[in-house]
Amino acid sequence: MFGIHPFQLSNKVAVLKNLIEEYRTRLRQLLLELERLEGLIILDTILTLHANASEAPVGSELFIFGTLNAEDGSPIAGKTITVYLDDRKVASFVTDRLGLFKGSIKIPYIYKPTISLFAEYIPEAEDRGRFRSSRSNVILLRLMYKVPIIVAWLNSSEVKPSDSFEVSGRIIGADGIVKMIYVSFLGMNFNTNVSKSGFFRIILGVPENAPTGRHEIIVYSKPHAIIAPASKLLEVTIFKINASIIVDIPKVVWGCCQMQVHGKIISKELNEHALTSGTIVLEIFDKVLRETIEGGDFSFDISIPCYAPTGYITMKITYIPSSVVYEGETIIEEVLLINPLIAFVPVPITVYFVIITVNSLLKRVRARQNVASETIAIEKSEITLIHEKAITEVTKIYLNAIQIIEDLIGVRRKRSDTIREFLDRVGIFLGGAALAFEELSYMTEAAIYGEIEPDLELARHLLDQILRWLT
């Protein structure tokens, strides 16, 4: 038949059957892929929202309704719609067969002029591959409530620690609903009852450790149903009575002697009346002296060490009040200390007279004499300052000269140096300034030990010469 051997025909038919079966398999796979692609089509959704009013009292019920449709307009039934007020979830509804949802929501007690109302649909489970989420139009809802007014005042705008003061006032427009007024002060909270007519009064105490300065007092009421919260800001100044230390100390003191320090604590706010009590702390050298005072007056008897070098000594005086209503104070005083036993070894006064006489005639040509030094016993009762102010001033000038020499030459005065020893050590470095410094040194010795009033104008001139020669 057909001139084809039956065996060959059988083989060709078998090949054809396999080919047909292969195409059938490919076709089934294509159909399955088409079905899968059809299932992946995601439909857009349209969500609408409506309310039966554009304003509502806080705490009331508001009726809302809306629809959920596919992009082709067909309703989507059985889907959950969530309703929000200012991003706060307030209710959920399920659409019916017409895609409609409706119901009432409760307006929360939010005290602000307007609030945003909207709905949202988010697909769940099997709907996630079928529908897209959607959000409705936003309804701006005006809220209705009453805002009371708090009128408040203080019986004193300035108070001290441990004082008490009164906050009084009235709340208006609360319709008798507000029964309590709250007060916040320095991190503390208080409350007081409100009368039927709206008046209130509360007494506050200032803590002893309260910081000074201006502080806020917030008087406020809490919300009650349709009554909104209200507040009133007040300010009070906490202050302490400023104290001043008045001290009487000598301008110049001597080594190995006693120094009397007298003083009192006053306050201009109290018409300079002495304060009642407290502690005075005096720091000098390496000593800390304390005295408890009553009535404001104090006194110290200080022994000046014999080893203390000549120069300015610092005295720190601190007032620590015993009452929190007073402000403490610290002052720093300086006293010129002259110690003839360490800082100055006396040179015969005649040397000074020879120098100034020869200088006036020979223009700084000096005739020197070898004069044996004698030890002068200095006792406390023999120390008298005829011209205290002049002696203090010439000593200042001399110390300024030492400071200039130390800064510009680099040679430091030792604590044990006498005037002569320091002069001998630095003289070779002073050049043209040596004569001026030498004369200033003699002048200082003569003023201190000979009670001879120094020529301050000449002393300043010598200091100026030293400065000009060295710079």
Total domains in the chain come to 4
For residue 373, being part of any structural domain is answered with yes
- The token pair at 139 is 């309804």
For residue 272, being part of any structural domain is answered with yes
284: domain CATH number? 2.60.40.150
Among 338, 364, 380, give the residue marking a domain's end: 338
Are 377 and 417 found together in one domain? yes
For residue 271, being part of any structural domain is answered with yes
pLDDT at 5: 66
Are 354 and 465 found together in one domain? yes
For residue 18, being part of any structural domain is answered with no
For residue 353, being part of any structural domain is answered with yes
Closest CA to 326 of 266, 282, 280: 266
Are 365 and 464 found together in one domain? yes
Among 144, 170, 199, give the residue marking a domain's end: 144
For residue 15, being part of any structural domain is answered with no
Closest CA to 211 of 344, 55, 92, 327: 327
**In contact, 310 and 337? CB cutoff 8 Å:** yes
For residue 37, being part of any structural domain is answered with no
Among 238, 257, 276, give the residue marking a domain's end: 238
For residue 33, being part of any structural domain is answered with no
Can you give the residue range of the structural domain that contains 267? Answer: 242-338
Are 134 and 154 found together in one domain? no
pLDDT at 176: 85
Are 465 and 353 found together in one domain? yes
If 0-12 CB within 10 Å is exposed, 13-18 middle and 19+ buried, where does residue 230 land?
A: buried
What are the pLDDT digits (tens) for 362-405? 333 333 333 233 323 333 333 444 456 777 888 888 888 888 88
The Cα angle at residue 89 between residues 84 and 92, in degrees rounded to 5: 85
pLDDT at 471: 75
Are 229 and 292 found together in one domain? no
pLDDT at 32: 67
Q: Digits of tens for pLDDT over the chain (471 positions)? A: 456 667 677 777 788 888 888 888 888 778 766 665 565 678 899 999 999 999 999 999 999 999 999 988 899 999 999 999 998 999 999 999 999 999 999 999 999 999 999 999 999 888 887 888 999 999 999 999 999 999 999 999 999 999 999 999 999 998 888 999 999 999 999 999 999 999 999 999 999 999 999 999 999 999 999 999 999 999 999 999 888 899 999 888 888 888 999 999 888 666 555 566 899 999 998 899 999 988 889 999 998 888 788 888 899 999 999 888 888 899 999 998 887 655 443 433 334 443 443 344 333 333 333 323 332 333 333 344 445 677 788 888 888 888 888 888 788 887 777 777 788 888 888 887 888 888 888 888 777 766 678 888 888 888 888 888 877
3 state SS of 332: strand
Are 461 and 370 found together in one domain? yes
Q: What is the pTM of this model?
A: 0.59
Where b means 16+ CB within 10 Å and e means fewer, 88-110 reads eebbebebeeebbbeeebebeee
pLDDT at 365: 34
pLDDT at 276: 67
Please give the backbone phi and psi of residue 217, each rounded to the nearest 5 degrees, phi first. -125, 120
Q: Which residue has the tokens 């300015």?
A: 312
Are 224 and 313 found together in one domain? no
202: domain CATH number? 2.60.40.1930
Are 126 and 157 found together in one domain? no
Are 363 and 459 found together in one domain? yes
Spatial CB neighbours of 33, under 8 Å, sequence gap ≥ 6: none
Are 157 and 115 found together in one domain? no
Are 322 and 410 found together in one domain? no
